[in-house]
Amino acid sequence: MSGDDVPVLIVGGSLVGLSTAVFLGRLGVPSLVLERHRGTAIHPRAALVNQRAIETYRVAGLQEEIEEAAAREFVQNGAIVSVESLGGKELDWYFHFINEGVEHISPVPRIFVTQIGLEPVLLHAAESLGARVEYASEAASVEQDESGVTVVVRSRDGSEERTVRARYLVAADGAHSPIREGLGIPNLGHGSFSDSITIYFRADVRRLMGDRNLSVVYVFGPHLQGFFRFSLDLQAGFLVVNSTSDDAGARSVRIGEDMSAPTCIAYVREALGDPDIAVEIENVQRWSASAEYAERLREGRIFLAGDSAHVMPPTGGFGGNCGIQDGYDLAWKLAYVLDGRAGEELLATYDAERSPVGAFTTEQAYTRYVLRLDPSLGKDDLVPIVDEAAVELGYRYRSSAIAEPEDDDTWENPREPSGRPGFRAPHVVVDGGSSTLDLFGDDFVVLAGPDGAAWCDAARAAGAANGLDVGVHRVGVDLRDPSADLERLYGVGAEGASLVRPDGFVAWRSPGAGADPAGELAAALACAVCR
């Protein structure tokens, strides 16, 4: 046995584990990532990476590299449609292009890139930022005490077990999270409700696609329901089959029991709408869609993130994106607590903030699944559909680190952002082309209206008193706001100010001048770091 110590140990080195390692690394926190598999993703799975996720990757300097990886896989900005078959009747266009109507709410687009394309970018970035990623390595046991977590690490190559000691552990170990189960944290929600298969195939679909640029194709055929994604060269793709029915209309509930090549070829041909097209099956996987979220995301020094915290059907493309945001919320809190800039209580706000978002997002994916793919599941327990952009960018955090909310709203339309505490700080084009979002990422930031000089002085003083670097910007002084949107969208007025956290969420704001700016801002900052 040999031992080693790390500030943060991440169990699971897939999309969420690697993203969390990147976010920690850029804040100066090294981590050890343990991943049972031998490398990054070999199945495409997530492809729609939403604007909020790209915003967080942009902070890490990865936007360009991810766009390059995406361009190698897909023509970007395609449509999401439903059809009877690819070559047959079109039924509905959910999006004519995936960035339809959201271009102005963020400096970044929604991007289509699979986990096969994205994870190597994250791996390289995580390692360059000081993370150690160990493949073929699994956490065999996890125990925590008052000062840390002890993990027994077992290598798949048969070498000796060793122990690792970490101050904190992030369980990004997937939907069946052994760590969550070991902690006895129950799942809430709708459980598992489908028997689905994903068929990876090769077929030349260029003629059937024609000149359309379709990112996701939902299929409602006479005998099957599911969805397609295709490769850039239109010579390959995958078909998810969610349900099938016979000629009499009876639903098959056990699709996965026959995953033979002839059956899968028949599914692909039917969904393509060409009974004779040459199809080669590369791989078939059986899985079950579920919509569940953990009752709580923290137990002592262990935090659940990603699919271990919430698992949802792919309708909406929310699952991986939601997990990336778990990592983003957690990373700055761990960084601030580890070096003493914040009180330990800040870590309790992870569950308070992310748990409701996980539940909200899961319910949105479930409603879409039932309405789009399987109405037989029943509509009694569905939440009303909220626009995709609001699910992605419009949720609100509530916790002891955020000023008392002015109202009960739990989400807003990010096309009309309010700048209220708990919401993502809005994107405004400033200083000739860049975004307000580019000001956030490392430190707290105060944005003041043109007559808000008193808040700027107060911010500097409060930062110095708390040992915190605080970025200070005043419209018209060091921040040009050519659209004159900032005061309106941040809700601060000429004499007001907004305090934005390192993760780009508004912690506090004053719509106008304050009676005691120094005292008010000092209190807001102390609250935001739980001191």
25/493 with CB nearer ligand FAD: 25
Considering the rule CB under 6 A, would residue 17 count as an interface residue with ligand FAD? Answer: yes
Does 46 engage in binding with ligand FAD (CB under 6 A)?
yes
Options 73, 119, 274, 307; binder of ligand FAD; rule CB under 6 A: 307
Quick count: other Cβ atoms within 10 Å of Cβ 232?
Answer: 12
Residue type for position 214: L
C-alpha span between 336 and 475 (Å, rounded): 28
Neighbouring C-beta atoms of residue 96, cutoff 10 Å: 14
Instruction: Report the alpha-carbon distance of residue 320 to residue 49 in Å, rounded.
Output: 8
Instruction: Return the DSSP state at 339.
Output: T
Burial class of residue 112, CB neighbours in 10 A (0-12, 13-18, 19+): buried
Which of these, 277, 263, 268, lies nearest to 237 by C-alpha position? 268
Minimum distance from CB of 472 to ligand FAD (Å)? 35
Count residues near ligand FAD (CB under 6 A): 32
As to burial, measured by CB atoms within 10 angstroms (0-12 exposed, 13-18 middle, 19+ buried), residue 345 is: middle
Nearer to ligand FAD, 224 or 445 (CB): 224
Q: What is the dihedral of CA 463, 464, 468, 471, to 10 degrees?
A: 50
Which of 171, 124, 103 has its CA nearest to residue 323? 171
Q: Is 320 in the site for ligand FAD (CB under 6 A)?
A: yes
Q: How far is the CB of 35 from ligand FAD (least distance, A)?
A: 5
Shortest distance, position 287 Cβ to ligand FAD, whole Å:
6
By CB under 6 A, residue 14 contacts ligand FAD: yes
Beta strand pairing status for 90-95 and 79-83?
Answer: antiparallel
Active site residue 218: yes
Q: Which of the stretches 11-19, 291-299, 342-350, 451-459 binds ligand FAD when contact is defined by CB under 6 A?
A: 11-19
139 touching ligand FAD, by CB under 6 A: yes
* Helices and strands: H and E segment counts in the chain: 13, 27
Query: What is residue 76's DSSP assignment?
Result: S
Q: Which of 55, 138, 292, 487 binds ligand FAD (CB under 6 A)?
A: 138
Residue 306 makes contact with ligand FAD by CB under 6 A = yes
Instruction: Please say which residue, 288 or 434, places its beta carbon nearer to ligand FAD.
Output: 288
Largest pairwise CA distance in the chain:
77
Interface with ligand FAD includes 502 (CB under 6 A)? no
- Asked if 174 interacts with ligand FAD (CB under 6 A), we say yes
What binding mask, one character per residue, do residues 213-252 give for ligand FAD by CB under 6 A, x or -?
---------------------------x------------
Among 61, 87, 178, 450, binds ligand FAD (CB under 6 A): 178
Look at strands 149-155 and 137-144 and give their pairing: antiparallel
Site for ligand FAD in 185-204 (CB under 6 A): 198
183 binding ligand FAD? (CB under 6 A): no
Return the number of the residue (320 or 356) whose C-beta is nearest ligand FAD: 320
Dihedral angle of Cα 289, 81, 65, 358, to the nearest 10 degrees: -40
Q: In sequence order, what are the residues at sequence separation of 6 or more whose Cβ sits closer than 8 angstroms to the Cβ of residue 489?
A: 417, 418, 419, 426, 428
Rounded to an integer, what distance in angstroms lies between the CA atom of residue 111 and that of residue 77?
A: 7
Angle, helices 319-338 vs 51-59, to 10°: value is 30
| 395, 321 contact by CB (below 8 A) | no
Stretch that binds ligand FAD, among 28-36, 181-189, 470-478, 498-506 (CB under 6 A): 28-36
Considering the complex, what minimum distance in angstroms separates the CB of residue 163 from ligand FAD? 14
402 binds ligand FAD (CB under 6 A): no
- Residue 56 in the binding site for ligand FAD (CB under 6 A): no
**Contacting range for ligand FAD; rule: CB under 6 A; set: 73-81, 167-175, 217-225, 515-523:** 167-175
Tell me whether residue 174 or residue 452 sits nearer to ligand FAD (CB atom).
Answer: 174
Choosing from 218, 267, 293, 490, the catalytic residue is 218
Q: Which is nearer to ligand FAD, 179 or 529 (CB)?
A: 179
Q: Alpha carbon of 210 to those of 43, 213, 431: distances in Å?
A: 26, 9, 43
Sequence-distant (6+) residues with CB within 8 A of 476 are: 450
Nearer residue to ligand FAD within complex by CB, 173 or 353: 173
Q: How many CB atoms lie within 10 A of CB 152?
A: 15
Q: Measure the CA–CA gap between 117 and 69, rounded to whole angstroms.
A: 6
Which residue number, 46 or 425, has a Cβ lying nearer to ligand FAD? 46
Q: Is 16 in the site for ligand FAD (CB under 6 A)?
A: yes
Pick out residues in 81-100 that bind ligand FAD (CB under 6 A).
none
Piece of 30-38, 60-68, 265-273, 472-480 that binds ligand FAD (CB under 6 A): 30-38
From 169-177, 184-192, 344-352, 374-382, span contacting ligand FAD (CB under 6 A): 169-177
How far apart are alpha carbons 307 and 176 in whole angstroms? 8
Q: How far is the CB of 166 from ligand FAD (least distance, A)?
A: 14
Residues of this chain that bind ligand FAD (CB under 6 A) = 11-12, 14-17, 34-37, 45-48, 138-139, 172-175, 178, 198, 240, 306-307, 314, 317-321, 323
Active centre residues (catalytic):
218
